[in-house]
Amino acid sequence: MSLKIRDFDLEVKSVDSNGHFSGYASVFGVVDSYNEIVAPGAFIDSIADRKSKNRKLPTLWQHRSDMPIGAYDVFKEDEKGLYVEGQLLVKDVALARESLALMKAGVVTGLSIGYWVRASTYDEKTGIRTLTQVDLEEVSLVTFPANDDARVEAVKLKLAHGGLPTIPEFERVLRDAGFSRSQAATIAAYGLKHLLRDAEEPANAAAASDLVKALFGLTLPKF
């Protein structure tokens, strides 16, 4: 199992000089680039468990676990999705103050959740997977807007947590690394396609890890 991320527009209902803001961290019924949908009720158990243990839901900067900038006082499901109210620690954390300035300026325009999939269903006709139960780990402020899961930063994060990108995502990373569009398409189609087909096989996992290391110089955990 690998940690996953999912981006949405930062639908800010309010943001003030004290660093308080609110909005939606996830919206139900949206098909993302993973061909997945989050179903209503998917967060209920995770939210209840976190609250029973009196655990804060952290606000991270760009999914960096070493860069917490606040916490969410309110996180709950409603008919639309996962609604959150957060408090940036602007008095004590310099990065939180910078984040607030960027939010107010409209530079930071995305919310992204980090989560583990616990239960899902798969529709063979549509190829869409519906996430019915997830464990919510954190909600990050991110620079880029909603559903831009092909962005290089998101793909690298997925890889760093032991996952494999989709073929379109991998093509985007290859083009960013300097390959032409046709070269990227060929490499992704004839390389990653086969790794995705049997991703659980140790040999394929090792090959994927070696490929990523060669491209990005990343040190990844073993699959």
User: What's the pLDDT tens digit per position in 123-133?
Assistant: 989 889 999 99
CA separation for the pair 7, 61 (Å, rounded): 13
CA dihedral for 45, 50, 56, 59, sign (positive or negative): negative
Place of tokens 């962005």: 151
Name every residue whose Cβ is closer than 8 Å to that of residue 133 and which is 6 or more positions away in sequence.
Answer: 41, 42, 45, 46, 117, 118, 119, 120
The mean pLDDT of 35-51, rounded to a whole number, is: 94
Q: Which H/E stretch holds residue 78?
A: none
* Cβ-based neighbour number of residue 153 at 10 Å: 15
Q: What percent of the chain has pLDDT over 90?
A: 35
Residue 138's nearest CA partner among 81, 48, 208, 70 is: 70
pLDDT score, position 9? 60
Describe the chain by its helix, strand, coil percentages, rounded to 5.
Answer: 30, 35, 35
Residue 35 backbone class (left: φ over 0; alpha: ψ -120 to 50; beta: rest): left
Q: For 143, which DSSP code?
A: S
- Angle at the Cα of 44 (from 119 to 29), degrees rounded to 5? 70
Tell me the CA distances in angstroms from 141 to 31, 103, 166, 216, one per residue in order.
Answer: 21, 9, 23, 24
Residue 134: pLDDT band (50, 70, 90) is very high
- What is residue 184's predicted lDDT score, i.e. its pLDDT? 78
Whose tokens are 């049997």? That residue is 198
Which pLDDT belongs to residue 88?
Answer: 95
Phi/psi at 84 (nearest 5 deg)? -135, 150
pTM greater than 0.75: no
